Amino acid sequence: MNISNEDFKSMKDKYDKEVKKGKPAKDKKGKDKTDQTSWVFLDRETLENLLAKADEDPKVGGIQFYFTEYTEETAKEIYPSNHDDYTGQMTLVMRPANLKDNQVVTLKLEGSGGDYVNGTSQCPYRCEPSPTDS
């Protein structure tokens, strides 16, 4: 799902104020989250679509990942039926990027409604069945 620049900023700000500083994430009611994200899954289509927008050179083109938290607003938009559960959950937001002179150069996602993508399934709340090694 595409994430607007404004939504990304609010998700990143929430993470920066809480988890990045070593504090617990907060839920919708301002209470500490007690069941934080264990893992995320990114499907191949999402990753390949992002990589297609980056440089074809595998040493240059890539994906920039950001640790963020769902805000109440973004949780409502992405998970309308159980948004309360997701408010304050850590997630990954990503965008295509290139490496130039050891510096990350971000790229625009033209016509997509935002420069960022959040295409994850994550645990909790999609933990069943547990991932296996086979």
Please state whether the predicted TM-score (pTM) of the whole model is above 0.95.
Answer: no
Short-list 12, 2, 7, 6, CA closest to 113: 2
DSSP secondary structure string for all residues of the chain: -EE-HHHHHHHHHHHHHTGGGTPPPB-TTSPBPSS---EEEE-HHHHHHHHHHS-SSTTTEEEEEEEEE--HHHHHHH-TTSHHHHTT-EEEEEEEEEEETTEEEE---TTSSSSEE--EEEETTS--SPP---
**Tens digit of each residue's pLDDT, the chain (134 residues):** 889 999 999 999 999 999 999 999 999 999 999 889 988 989 999 999 999 999 999 999 999 999 999 999 999 998 999 899 999 999 999 999 999 999 999 887 766 567 899 877 888 877 776 767 66
